Structure 1
Amino acid sequence: MAVAGVAIADEEGLTAVSMRRIAARLGTGTTSLYRYVAKKDDVLELMVDEVMGELRGTVLTGDWRADLRTIARLLRETALRHPWLPALSSGRSNHGPNSLWWTELCLSVFDGMDLSTDEMLAGLGTLSAFVLGRVLGELGDQEAARRSGLSHEQWMEQQGEYGPAIVNSGLYPRFSRVIIEAETPHAADRQERAFEAGLERVLDGLAAHLPARR
């Protein structure tokens, strides 16, 4: 059931997921599904846990900074692979077996650091918020490209027509610097560059709150 729901959401979006569609994909009647779940929300939780199972096999090194990089990158890759996931995973925690396994693994990054439970949760929450925020931006860019029919390069070229007027107006000196000097928005790997740059800043912030002996 969860596998069928994931497949439908990946192909058509979360709004396409219904008990009827899942039943049709499984070749069974809709009412038969209610032998196993009480409502659609239960299926959505199972879908999230199914996707989190893709992270099984992740091995950490014991270096907290390297391990949080690994966690952040894997979360980004998984969310981009399943664009519907951020909407479901940014709310209440999922307590399925795969989700619990992942939470336990993430918490193990802080072993031996003499942090309180709330401090560990704050660290992981900050990292997760950054990753989901970046992913939503990437997904929004993809959706804008789909709606407009313009690639990022075509859109940038179109917007470039307004650059001289903005700079010459003298009203936006800081943004004018962005227009003239910024390289990342034009790079083919701009999303990866922005993600990695932001990730390092998040990790620097977390490092500032670790006990001095660490």
Structure 2
Amino acid sequence: MTDAEYVNIWMRPERPAYGPKPAYSRAQITEAAIRIADAEGLESATMRRIAAEIGAGAMSLYRYVPSRDNLIELMADQVMGEIDVTGMPSGDWRADLTRYAEGQRAMWLRHPWIATVQRSLPSFGPSQLLLVERLMGVLDAFVPIDENLGLVALLNGHVEGTVREEISSAEAFRRSGLSEPEWMARSYPYVDRLVKSGEYPIFAKIVMEARQPHLSREEQFRNGLERVLDCIATALPSTAGSPMPAHREGQDGPGTGS
């Protein structure tokens, strides 16, 4: 398809101005595609498979969704709509960004195929645009727009990087037929030899002293998120103050603010 032929899916009318009412809707097709992708992987969400799911002819679906790229755009926008940003900005930027980050992680874990979708060229669907407005609205009053973009990218980088690794690890364990503790037990003799060799002191320190690798995935995510939010806090004026989470106050000790 050439640039001249391309029309953004959001510019295409859902139904023609004249003629009979369509038998299906984009929403039905998109929801069926998401169900299939969740259960069987994105590659299984073909027009033929979706048509069978909703009881339609495969070729007839192209009247509603012209291409597979369009379908993936619709699917990605639909699942982004699951991230709850109602009431944002609330006035507490840290609580807002925490809620968004946790919502995004939960959405990715529900729909792991989203990790394989190329999102570098956004299509600006309605759910994505709502996220842009609400999420960037959280910091809009405190920093210029370019700084806002950078800080949101920092937050998204943590969420997406962490969850991609979580999803890929779960898939690797599934393929291996081992649980994570079983895989660690199988790896122990080699790791023990590396530690005892004395050739890798930092690696040995990680194995012997680090607490983070022994935390749950959720705890690792939250710890990293708190540090990202601390970094964001340094870029904001003091007037944007947001209360330090209680567990961080406990770690710092009484009377030791940031």
Q: TM-score, normalised by structure 2?
A: 0.77
Shift of 1:82: 0.2
Structure 2 match to 1:196: 222
Structure 2 match to 1:172: 200
Q: 1:158 to 1:44 in 2, by over 3 A?
A: same
Q: Determine which of 102, 113, 120 is the counterpart of 1:91.
A: 120
**Partner Cα distance (1:125, 1:119) in 2:** 10
Amino acid at match of 2:218: E
CA contact (8 A) 1:94 1:100 kept: no
Shift of 1:211: 3.2
Structure 1 match to 2:232: 206
**Partner Cα distance (2:148, 2:130) in 1:** 16
Q: Determine which of 91, 104, 109 is the counterpart of 1:62.
A: 91
**Partner Cα distance (1:185, 1:121) in 2:** 31
Higher relative contact order (CA 8 A, sep 6+): 1
Amino acid at match of 2:93: W
**Partner Cα distance (2:191, 2:70) in 1:** 50
Superposed CA RMSD in Å reads: 1.7
Q: How does 1:28-43 map to 2 (within 5 A)?
A: 28-43=56-71
**Partner Cα distance (1:186, 1:159) in 2:** 15
Higher mean Cα deviation, 70-79 or 32-41?
32-41
* 1:14 and 2:35 correspond: no
Q: Percent identity?
A: 44
Amino acid at match of 2:221: F
Deviations 1:56-107 (A, max 9, x none): 4633332111111111111001001100113326322232212211221101
**Partner Cα distance (2:204, 2:85) in 1:** 47
Count of aligned pairs: 211
Structure 1 match to 2:10: none
**Partner Cα distance (2:115, 2:123) in 1:** 13
Shift of 1:44: 0.8
Shift of 1:180: 1.1
**Partner Cα distance (1:164, 1:119) in 2:** 46
**Partner Cα distance (1:29, 1:129) in 2:** 40
Structure 1 match to 2:244: none
Q: 1:211 to 1:183 in 2, by over 3 A?
A: closer
Gaps of 5+ in 2: 1-28, 241-258
**Partner Cα distance (1:147, 1:125) in 2:** 32
Q: 1:87 to 1:29 in 2, by over 3 A?
A: same
**Partner Cα distance (1:108, 1:136) in 2:** 26
Gaps of 5+ in 1: none
Based on CA coordinates, which of the two structures has the bigger radius of gyration?
2
Amino acid at match of 2:227: R
* 1:106 and 2:135 correspond: yes
Deviations 1:31-70 (A, max 9, x none): 2112112211111111112112222463333211111111
